[in-house]
Each structure stands twice: as structure tokens, then as C-alpha cells.
Amino acid sequence: MKNTPKKPSLLSALIPVIFLTGAISVNVYIFRDEALSGSNQMILFFAAAVAGVVCLINKIQWNHLLNGIVKSTSSAIPAILILLMIGALSGTWLISGVVPAMITYGLKIMHPSYFLVTACIICSIVSVSTGSSWSTVATIGVALLCIGRALGIPESMIGGAIISGAYFGDKISPLSDTTNLASAVTHTELFTHIKYMFITTIPSYIITLIIFVFLGFYSKNILPGTDISVVQASLEGIFNITPWLFLVPLFVIGLIVLKVPALPSIFLGVIAGAVAALIFQPHLIHALFQGDGSFLRKAYVVIMKSMFTQTTIAADNILVSNLLSAGGMKGMLNTVWLIISAMVFGGIMEAGGLLKRITESIIAVARNAASLVVTTVCTCMFVNLTASDQYLSIVIPGRMFAEVYRKKGLKSQNLSRTLEDSGTVTSVLIPWNTCGATQSTVLGIPTLVFLPYCFFNLISPLMTMFFALFKLKIARLEQENTEGD
């Protein structure tokens, strides 16, 4: 007789989640900054094993769970490829002088007092223009991080400003994949969705900028900065610094604005960086190659190594030496491992019905418009925590809540806005989420270090709940059942 799968109880569905959160907490306490070097990945595999045991007890076939793992990890392949390309980009942009040029000119115009708010605004402009938080952080974000460090700004604050600005654009840009996804999954017209998001996004953004202004002018955490002229002189002694190098990042931003997908855009940015290295830094290529040979051979070896492995350029200043380092694709492998581990856990949770069982229980508590929005926020954040994927945090709650919102007499833009206010922006705050793992690796700052300063990401879900609780700007269907409100 064929075994019929049983619906998991709420308690059994929560067991893997409880195990994961408890084990991760203990692991981070023990391993500290080394937690992402492998131990957190193993915890995710152990949590996946616990989820698998729960599913097998409920008579769910292993092949079904395996298919869920394959589907989940397959969905992460585009993110992994982009991550590897970003690693290669960091290498070629270093040896080409692109990042050093950004640092040099940035130091001439930026001051510690207004650096944080300026960094947030710059990242906002770039991310709105490109629709990509990942591209923004990997290009201008990395340069701003180096500038901020040279100015004596704590990297935790710098990371928070960069992430806040980058995710502002990721959330509201019509070019953003998450903006289009939230619009599509809720059947909301794109610009209606964006217009409705402005209601909660602009107050969150203004509060964020005010906080960064306050931190810049009044914070006692600003470190004693290095003599900027020393840093500039050191960089100019190593690289041929010229405004022409800015054509490389402008080229990449232009590609993304023209709606060229992120992966080929970043790949072309890698190639552009390699070409710029040949044109502007031939002396550096000679210096980085150990041994004799023709210039073409030296250039091939140096540029290839910058793409796939660690590149470090020595300087006579310790701070500058720390700035002139890039990990290449190899430096991204721990993050790739983390993403795959998280996708395995998320795949079993979804395929086994454990995720659905938990979210159904959350939906059951929604009695009116306010509680429905709060419930949606909690569900999006929960999916980000368990499924470890930004897109799933939009798609799963979007599908689950669409009919509930309609029955409550609420227009679809209420749901689409809430999905973005919670799912899109909180993904980067979770260390094992694809977004959190990627941005942490690109910036070289642990997720939990920059998290307290990601004010826009922290305020956005609170703002959307505030508007719902006080019944502000809640779009209603004119002739629909509004039961429970």
C-alpha cells in the first residue's frame, strides 16, 4: 500500500527553524568572524538534515525532497554566476586603476562630516539608474568603502550607508527585477506599484538621511583619519590616475540602464577593466609579474590572476596596502558554498510543505487590514530567513496573500508595496540569505556588523506597518467584501 504524505503539524514544521536559529547563534558566538568560513555552512546542512527527517516521518518521499533541493539550488545559479563575475570585476578594476582613481578623486571632494549621507545618496542615484543593488555595491560601493576607511569612518557605518542607498534603488527603480516581480506576482500595474511604494519609501529614506547626517556631524565613533594627502600620493605613485578611467564604470552603468542583464553587463565590465589595465597601467603589470617574458605574456598572466585569485599590491602606507587587495573569483567561493547550503535547507522546507504550514498559521491571525499587513511583513521576513532567497520572499507570500487581500477589500498595490517594504529590503540583513551573503563578501564586512546601520532596510518594514496600523493610504476596492475591517 502506497504511503500517503501527512500534513506536518505546526510544531514539527518549526523544529528545523528552531534548530537553525539556535545552532547558528551558538556557532557565531564560538567562531565569531570565522563563522562564514565553513561552520555556518555546515549548520545549514545539519538543519536541512533535521528538516529532511521531519519530512520523512510525515511520509514524504525522498525523491520529492531531492527534486525540491535541485529546484531551489537551480534558482540560485544566476546569483552565483553574478557573484563570481563580481569577484573577477574587483580584480581587473583594481589593477586597471579604476577603484584607485575613484578613491583618489573621492578623497578630494568628500569630508568625514558629510561622507555617510553623501555615500547613501550616491548609491541611491546609481541603483535607481541601474535597478541593481548588487551592481551598485560591487562598483561604486566598493570605492566608497575605501574612501570612507581612508577618512577614518567605521566600516560598519559605511556599509550601512552603502546598503541603504543601494536597496532604495533596488526597491523603487522600474529597472529593478524585484520591483517588476512584486508587480507581476500581485497583478499590479508597474507604475501604480511604484507610485504606491513612494508613500512609505520616501519617509523611510528621509529618516535614513537625517540619521546619517546626525552620525556624520555628531558621532564620536569617527576614527582619527589618515593624512589624505599621504594616501593620494601613495596611490598616484603606484597607478596612473586619470579621469579617463571613469569610462569603465560609466560603461557598465550605461549597459544596465539600457536593460542589458546584470551578468553580461558585469562580464563586459571585467573585460573593460582588463583593457584599461593594458592601456593605463603597463608599468604595474611589469611590477606584478614575477619573472622574465614579453609584455603580452606578463599582461595575460597578471590579468588572468586578477580575475580568479587573490591580487595584492604593496604600498608604502599600511592603509593603502589594505585598500589594494582583491580576492577574484576564488574569494567568492565561501559565499557560493553558503548560498548552496542555504538553498538546500530552503528546498527541503518548501518541498516538504514545512514552510507552507508555518505561513498558513501566520495567515490565520490576520483579522483586519492592519493585522494582514503586519502578517505579510512577518511572512516575508520569515521566508527570507528560511528559504534564504529574496525572490521567494516576494513570490511565496505574494501568491499566498493575494486572495486574502481581495477578500478584505484591499487593492493589490497594498500587497505589492508590503512585499517590497519587507521582502526586498530585509534579505540583505540575513547572513545566509543570497543577498546578505553576497553583499557581505563584496564589501568584506560581516552582515551582522553593518546590519545596525542599514537604517533604510530596518525602517521600511516598520513604516509599512505604521501606515497600516493608523489606516493611512490604504487603497480599497469599492465594491468588494471588507469583512473583518
3-state secondary structure 325-339: EECCHHHHHHHHHHH
- Helix ranges (DSSP H) in 173-294: 177-185, 190-218, 228-238, 247-257, 262-280, 282-288
Q: Looking at the predicted structure, is the pLDDT value of residue 342 above 70?
A: yes
The neighbour count for residue 132, using CB atoms within 10 Å, is 27
- Residue 410 pairs in a beta bridge with 476
Q: Looking at the predicted structure, is the pLDDT value of residue 248 above 60?
A: yes
**Average pLDDT taken over every residue of the chain:** 87
Q: Looking at the predicted structure, is the pLDDT value of residue 224 above 70?
A: no
C-alpha cell at 265: 553587463
pLDDT at 222: 62
Domain boundaries, the chain: 10-76+337-469, 78-331
What is the radius of gyration, based on Cα positions, of the chain? 24
pLDDT at 62: 92
User: Do the Cβ atoms of 86 and 442 come closer than 8 Å?
Assistant: yes
Q: Looking at the predicted structure, is the pLDDT value of residue 425 above 90?
A: yes
Which one is predicted more confidently, 132 or 248? 248
pLDDT at 366: 73
Which one is predicted more confidently, 219 or 451? 451
Please, which pLDDT band fits residue 361 given cuts at 50, 70 and 90? confident
- Weakest mean pLDDT among 28-37, 155-164, 346-355: 28-37
Please, which pLDDT band fits residue 225 given cuts at 50, 70 and 90? low
**Alpha-carbon distances, residue 200 vs 197, 366, 485 (angstroms):** 6, 21, 21
| pLDDT, mean of residues 377-385 | 89
Q: Looking at the predicted structure, is the pLDDT value of residue 338 above 50?
A: yes
Which one is predicted more confidently, 450 or 396? 450
Q: Looking at the predicted structure, is the pLDDT value of residue 482 above 50?
A: no
C-alpha dihedral over 252, 256, 262, 264, to 10 degrees? -60
User: Do the Cβ atoms of 267 and 307 come closer than 8 Å?
Assistant: no
